[in-house]
Amino acid sequence: MSKQKLPVIASTDCCNSTLASPLDHEMAVELANAFKALADPVRLRLLSLIASRPGEEVCVCELTPQFELSQPTISHHLKVLREAGLIDCQRRGTWVYYWVIPAALHRLSDVLVTTGADRVEAPA
């Protein structure tokens, strides 16, 4: 196992730190479902492939060849991401086109970003 330098939050008193706005139960459940959907490497990669083309749609025919999985399996993973509210889609004839919902990604990133804390490198 390699030693990695992890960021350390510099604080004089851990009990004095407060969240900007704590999550209520409903929001925590919603975010947990989204994070759970992203906890699978295939789904995380699918989201990354779709998000790498901001403002554009990606056809499922472009996504499937990126994996050594069957089309029904890819469709299942896309359905999980869609049900988690991270992506949306539209069927056009035979093909389905997917795009990221930016507001959903912002909600996820907002809960991960800390505010008011200085980050320093951990000693080696």
Mean pLDDT, the chain, rounded, equals 82
State residue 4's pLDDT score. 55
For domain 24-112, give its CATH number from 1.10.3720.10, 1.10.10.10, 1.10.3470.10, 3.10.450.50: 1.10.10.10
For the chain, which residues make up each domain, given as ranges?
24-112
Separation CA 51–CA 74 (nearest Å) = 16
From residue 85, give the alpha-carbon distance in Å to each of 79, 89, 116, 124: 10, 11, 29, 41
Tens-place pLDDT, residues 9-64? 454 444 444 556 678 888 888 889 999 999 999 999 999 999 998 778 999 999 99
State residue 6's pLDDT score. 47
pTM above 0.85, yes or no: no
Torsion of CA 33, 5, 7, 25, to 10 degrees: 20
